[in-house]
Amino acid sequence: MDYALPRADGVPAIGVASCDSPSPLNPLGLKGTGEGSAVPGPAAIANAVADALGAGDDEITEVPIRARALARRS
């Protein structure tokens, strides 16, 4: 009972700074964002399905994973 749970009012102030580094690859200097987080999820699911099926060295390399593609593996 002596331990207090962390709360938002106990967090120190966070300073935000900007550091611009335009891309030299296009006239506007724009860079893409948000794409990196879309990659690991489907790969993790495909690996979990392959592991559950006991695929061994046979990899699932296409998503969406369709039942007819899995039927060809067995």
Q: Is 74's pLDDT higher than 60?
A: no
Residue 50 lies in a domain: yes
Would you call the peptide bond into 64 cis, given omega within 30 degrees of 0 as the criterion?
A: yes
pTM above 0.85, yes or no: no
Rounded Cα gap, residues 52 and 74, in angstroms:
13
What is the three-class DSSP state of 65? coil
Residue 67 lies in a domain: yes
Residue 58 lies in a domain: yes
In percent, the amount of the chain with pLDDT more than 70 equals 86
Please, are residues 16 and 26 in contact by the beta-carbon 8 Å criterion? Answer: no
Residue 15 lies in a domain: no
Count of domains for the chain: 1
Range of the domain at 50: 39-74
Residue 55 lies in a domain: yes
